[in-house]
Structure 1
Amino acid sequence: MSAVTVAALLVAAGVAWAAATDNMVPTNNYNKACSTGNADSGVVCQTDNAQVTYYMDSGGSDALETVDKNIVQKMMSAQYAPTDLSISYDSTPAWSGSSETDIYYAEATVPGSADGTTWCNDAVSTYRCDQTYIRIEGGGSYTPGLSCHETGHAVGLLHGSSASPQLSKTNKALGCMQTPVNYSEPLGSSNKENINGLY
């Protein structure tokens, strides 16, 4: 097979040429079917389409403080809106049906030692989820970097160990998908290329 034929096949398959690695579900190192989970066990899934709506809990024990809401809004605007995803805030979230609000942010205790967790609340196909929950601890844990990281999981981005080729968990090419993630780590060009290659 010629190099031109291989290149044509890769372009047709949606491979992002500028990406440092493929860390978008599925990869050669992460090929789990999307499934409905919970805070203790979640599978990383793609979101169900490029029109991404999100809601931040505004009442009760899981509500985000104003400072945390501002962090998420600025992060979504600066990091995800410039991609091929269409990002919009949903002030009247839908919790059921075929057009659920895509991402729900809550501030609450996270199991184990992590500061954040993400899980699919409504798996709709092999790799796609209609609604994803993001939970981040209180006490200053809602940082631009961590909210970018958990949102990355909500659209299908993976850690370096699950990427193909694999990268160290702190490789700078992973942007905010590094673990641990710095306070203001941006999405990064490789993650943007992977998002744009899929959506």
Structure 2
Amino acid sequence: MRATSRGKVAIAAAASWVLLTGTAFAATDTLMPTRNYTYYCGSGHGICQTDNETLTYYMDSGGTYELESNDRYYVNETVSSDYAPTDLVISYDSSPSFSGDAETDHIWQEGSTGLSDDAAGMTWCNDAVDLYACDQHYIRIRGNGYYVGSLTCHEMGHGVGLVHGDLAYPTRSRTDVAAMGCMVTGTAYSPDLGTNNFNNINATY
């Protein structure tokens, strides 16, 4: 169940100061909706919260978007190292559901279909359930070495509602690792979720 006091938490966080990786800065709201990201969730839209704290995931194991074994490793490692320690309750769904009221939350794929030439991956909502939440996200990352821990952390972040630095509040640089963790953009993704994102997830779910 999503926290109903999310706005109060975000305002309180923005007014406080925390110490991350040796750098002091105002705590940043990085989980949609923020004051700088007020778009509503909709089918085909990329950044939405997942529908509740119980999150299931599936890695495509056949056909066009099958993940190779090393890519499956990075997804499982990201889940266990970065997201499982949060308040999200995560489990693998070996029999995924693609319709109904209990869809598998995250569907991981490997491939380049639909990706722009400069995109390493993308995440999009397949079934919005309200203004901010999605019942099922698809996460697609290019093959041939693009599946690495930092990028899987980044795309999964979008699948739980984390935004880029310019959409956070207060606004941060897209390369501000201390504030944004693996939600930075560019060629040097941070490998870790980061304390700030961790706290935002726990304040929301």
Q: TM-score, normalised by structure 2?
A: 0.86
The 5 Å alignment of 1:96-111 reads 96-109=99-112, 110-111=115-116
Q: Please state if 1:191 is matched with 2:194.
A: no
How far apart, in 2, do the equivalents of 1:12 and 1:154 lie?
20
Q: Identify the residue that residue 180 of structure 2 maps to in structure 1.
A: 174
Q: Identify the residue that residue 135 of structure 1 maps to in structure 2.
A: 140
Q: Please state if 1:14 is matched with 2:14.
A: no
Cα offset, 1:148, TM superposition? 0.3
Unmatched runs of 5 consecutive residues or more in structure 2 = 19-25
Q: Identify the residue that residue 76 of structure 1 maps to in structure 2.
A: 79
The 5 Å alignment of 1:50-89 reads 50-89=53-92
Cα offset, 1:183, TM superposition? 5.8
Q: Identify the residue that residue 147 of structure 1 maps to in structure 2.
A: 152
Q: Hey, which bits of structure 1, 4+ residues long, moved more than 4 A?
A: none
Cα gap change, 1:11/1:117 in structure 2, threshold over 3 Å: closer, same or farther? closer
> What is the percentage of aligned positions where both structures have the same residue?
52
Cα offset, 1:13, TM superposition? 2.3
Unmatched runs of 5 consecutive residues or more in structure 1 = 1-9
The letter for the 1-side match of 2:82 is Q
Any idea what the Cα deviations from partners look like across 1:121-148, whole Å, max 9, x if unmatched? 0001000000000000000000100000
- Confirm or deny: 8 A CA contact 1:145 1:181 kept in the other structure: no
SS in 2 for 1:14: helix
- Confirm or deny: 8 A CA contact 1:32 1:43 kept in the other structure: no
The letter for the 2-side match of 1:13 is K
How far apart, in 2, do the equivalents of 1:104 and 1:134 lie?
6
Any idea what the Cα deviations from partners look like across 1:37-82, whole Å, max 9, x if unmatched? 1xxxx33100000000000000012000000001110110000000
